[in-house]
Chain A
Amino acid sequence: MIKLKLKVNGNIHELEIEPHAILADVLKKELGLIGVRVSCGEGECGACTILMDGKPVLACMMLAMQAEGKELLTIEGLGTYENLHPIQEAFVEEHGFQCGFCTPGIILSTKKLLETKPDSTPSEIAMSLSGHICRCGAYPKIIKSVQKAAKKLEDNHGKK
């Protein structure tokens, strides 16, 4: 076992893990953050996407040890059930999902996209979400949701 200090959603956790533990497993099993979804486990589907220092990365494709000293954000740190983040609100309002399995990852990638390029076109949105597979095929509504989220964030003047 090896010691690891992990900063997730603003909280610091002191953990003891196996050196080869995968970040996604540590977030889910040790910290109970089940919004980190693992589907393919091989970097293809994007369900396990989290933000590391603000950038989307795949939690299933890295060692937990690689994340030491970084700021991690999972969907649990974005909004709460009572107080959804504007991007989450937009996905609910536009039905940007069906089963919802891929949604946490897509919302986190959307956060980064809208910080970098709030006026993204539908094709830019599609390209920036190319690392996410939605097996329900909700893509058209996902793109609408992202556009609505952009509008909400603009109206809020980025208050959140």
Chain B
Amino acid sequence: MNNTTFKYLRPISPVKACELKDKYGESSRFWAGGTDLLLQWKEDVVCLDYCIDLSFIPDLDYIRKDSDAVSIGALTRVASIETSSELNHSLSIIREAAGELATPQIRNTATIGGNICRAAPSADMAPPLLVLDAEMKFVSASGERWVAMDAFFLDLNQTALEENELLAEIKVPIPPVETASCFLKIGRTVIDIAIVNMAARMTMDDRGILTDVRIAFGAVAPTPLRIKAAEEILLGTDVSTIDDTLVGKVSNKVGDEIKPITDVRGTAEYRREISRVLTKRAIENIIQTLQGRLNS
């Protein structure tokens, strides 16, 4: 148990926050909702001499929609995402994942940025953002850059963010109309972190050929990740011809590609089996939607 104190800093802009990070380096941390960081600090997992509280920076808490994308400020509370009407159609999986993250009280404090930046393998916001090809805006004292969600997670609890960078925004492109998506989470109880979570998204052309396939999993590897070898099996197929054999092939591929571990929530074998099952459910759900659209 940690008994030491820290200096509390309250920057009023993202750049000011990054300047503080430049100054204090690894002994400082950005504090968003604090629902992860507080426990890590109490348990002495992280070094925290300077707490840089981001919650008083205006303009990092928003959900904006324009013609081709929905932009979400990094400090947006998970509860605001859960109820946002901007996140509809195939983007509604972001809302669903938010609604299954922790408890209502935690969702009122936790931020989407904190969920992603913590880079836990089980982060519920990760699979939907991965399959929707989200782009992340990093800000530092000297400028900004964009990084694809697919290149964001590097290793267990490690992201592409440099020590002095802050995640400012998550931009989610609006997929073409002929897209369907699905988010699934298996947990011990409705409020627990995932044993396995996953999302899938598929887009077809006007003849029903799959032109884009994304499948992403959490809690089955050191980071949330896309299972590209499984995506490739479906790419280019005709949605009206997808049968049990093909679905079985894809789900077995997922089982082969993931590297689950055994922990208190489940064994590696259980996670592998559940991942196969969730793959089937997600594909069937999506294909049914897409076939329905082709026939209507």
Residues of A within 8 A of B (CB): 2, 18-20, 22, 42-44, 46, 49, 52, 55-58, 61-63, 65-66, 68, 109, 127-128, 130-131
Is A56 a contact of B5 with CB atoms below 8 Å? no
- The residue from A44, A49, A63 contacting B34, defined by CB atoms under 8 A apart: A63
Across-interface contacts of A18 in B (CB, < 8 A):
5
Residue pair A2, B8 in contact (C-beta under 8 Å): yes
Ordered by A's residue number, 25 sampled pairs between the chains whose C-beta atoms are within 8 Å are A2-B8, A19-B6, A19-B51, A20-B51, A42-B39, A43-B105, A46-B105, A52-B108, A55-B79, A55-B108, A61-B34, A61-B35, A61-B109, A62-B109, A63-B8, A65-B10, A66-B31, A66-B34, A109-B104, A127-B190, A130-B104, A130-B190, A130-B191, A131-B103, A131-B105
Size of the chain B interface, CB-CB below 8 angstroms? 26
Q: Is the interface of A mostly helix, strand, loop or mixed?
A: mixed
The CA-CA distance from A42 to B191 in the complex, in Å, is 13
The tally of CB-CB contacts under 8 A between chains A and B is 75
Q: Are A131 and B191 in contact (CB under 8 A)?
A: yes
- When chains A and B are docked, how far (Å) is the Cα of A68 from the Cα of B53? 12
- The verdict on B268 contacting chain A, using a C-beta distance below 8 Å, is no
Q: Are A19's CB and B5's CB within 8 A?
A: yes
Convert B1-17 into 0s and 1s, putting 1 for each residue whose CB lies closer than 8 angstroms to a CB of A.
Answer: 00001111010000000
- What is the CA–CA distance of A42 and B36 in the complex, to the nearest angstrom? 10
B189 smallest CB distance to A (angstroms)? 8
* Besides A61-B38, A63-B31, 17 other A-B contacts (C-beta < 8 A): A18-B5, A19-B5, A46-B105, A57-B105, A61-B34, A63-B38, A63-B53, A65-B53, A66-B55, A68-B56, A130-B103, A130-B190, A130-B191, A131-B102, A131-B103, A131-B105, A131-B191
